Amino acid sequence: MATDLLEPRRPPDGPLEPPGDYGGLHNVFRERYLLRLLVKKELQARYQGSFLGLIWSYIQPLVRFLAYYLVIGYVLGLNRGVQNFALHIFAAMVMVHYFTETFSAGTRSIVRNKGLIQKLSMPREMFPVASMLVSAYHTLPQLVILFVAVFITGWDPTLADVAAGLLGFAIMATFGMALALLFSAANVFFRDFSNIVTTIGIFVTWSAPMIYPFDRIRKLAQGHEWVETLYLTNPIANGVLLFQQLFWIPTTDPTPADPTQDPIPLMPDYLLTRGLIVLAACLVILAFSQWVFSRLEGKFAERL
């Protein structure tokens, strides 16, 4: 064995290159094996020392949902007039939660992995991407709950609804990833950014039609169209509405048995077209974030 080791190796025939230059996000997805290990590591770290483990991913959203549903639906009485208000809330919650998880875990990912980043060279975009994938993994239990709920309620989505749902998810993933990338780099220089993210997270919950239906915004905007336009520039609101188009609208009844309820829930016009434009805009923001990230990452090792 020792004798084979002593045989001279074939010298490398590649070109001379600057070390540690990996060329950004698209190369992250090429290193799938490393990405898989990082995701596994994150999952292990999150449930370390936990007895219930992944079951927490079911308990927490259920409790959060119940809190919203009971307070908003019954205490504030918003479920009157809205069909299947529970599904309206839950579908939105899945998306909002996916976004805030990606954003906050992603922002902290670089600082949390400083042990690796200070010693080894790798595409650093790996860490926010891994956070985004971990968050996606955590939405799976919620999707299971959601699917069970819509099947019980009666669900007949069209192909366009399915497209809307996928588009909504794509918007959330892209936008969350873009902000995670940008803020993870900024957080290296000023740890204030993780607090900023928490602050934004508070706002996110209220910026999308989750605990209130979209028609409230339409009513508010009467005579001031710009209010609705402004509201609909928010990628999170678009992602949530598109997701509700798949998981809430197809469960509603055009001729409800309860006459106090609105027959057809109000959705914004041009939902899909706007969704595509928003996705394109999110991709531009992602490209910008990547550009900033690669400017800043050269200083990560010394500033961590």
Partner 1 sequence: MNESIVVNGVSKRFTMQYHRTLKQITIAAVRRQPLSETFLAVDDVSFTARQGEAIGLMGLNGSGKSTLLKLISGVMRPDGGTVLTRGRIAGLIAAGAGFHPQLTGRDNVFLNAAILGMSEAETKAKFDEIVDFASVGKFLDTPTGQYSSGMSARLGFAVAAFAESDIFLADEVLAVGDQPFKKKCLQRMAEIKAEGRTLFYVSHSPGSVRRMCDRALVLESGRLGFDGPVDDGIAYLKYDASDARPEDDEIGADI
Return residues touching partner 1 (CB under 8 A): 2, 5-9, 11-12, 14-21, 31, 33-34, 37-38, 40-41, 44-45, 48, 113, 115-122, 298-299, 301-302
User: For residue 292, what is the enclosing H or E element?
Assistant: helix 271-296
Q: How far is the CB of 114 from partner 1 (least distance, A)?
A: 9
Comparison of 12 and 223: residue with beta carbon closer to partner 1:
12
Least CB distance from residue 12 to partner 1, whole Å?
Answer: 3
Secondary structure of residue 265 in the 3-state scheme: coil
CB atoms within 10 A of CB 82: 21
* Residue given tokens 């900024």 in the structure block: 186
Closest distance between partner 1 and the C-beta of residue 125, in Å? Answer: 14
For residue 60, give the H/E element and its range.
helix 56-68
- The Cα–Cα gap between 16 and 201 comes to 45
Q: How far is the CB of 159 from partner 1 (least distance, A)?
A: 39
If the CB atoms of residues 35 and 221 are measured against partner 1, the closer one turns out to be: 35
Residues 170, 279 contacting (CB under 8 angstroms): yes
DSSP-based three-state secondary structure for 44: helix
Considering only CA atoms, which of 235, 236, 131 is closest in space to residue 183? Answer: 131
237 neighbors 221 (Cβ within 8 angstroms): no
User: How many angstroms from the chain centroid is the CA of residue 189?
Assistant: 24
Which value, to the nearest 10 degrees, does the dihedral of the CA atoms of residues 147, 149, 153, 155 take? Answer: -10
Q: How far is the C-alpha of 299 from the C-alpha of 120, rounded, in Å?
A: 14
Query: How near is the Cβ of 119 to partner 1 at its closest, in Å?
Result: 3
Q: Which is nearer to partner 1, 263 or 298 (CB)?
A: 298
Q: How far is the CB of 4 from partner 1 (least distance, A)?
A: 10
Nearer to partner 1, 216 or 303 (CB): 303
Q: How far apart are CA 86 and CA 83, in angstroms?
A: 9
Instruction: Provide the H-helix boundaries in 113-157.
Output: 114-117, 126-153
**Given the complex with partner 1, which of 5 and 257 has the nearer CB atom?**
5
Task: Specify the residue, 83 or 113, whose C-beta has the smaller distance to partner 1.
Answer: 113
Residue number with CB closer to partner 1 (123 or 265)? 123
| Least distance from partner 1 to the Cβ atom of residue 8, Å | 4
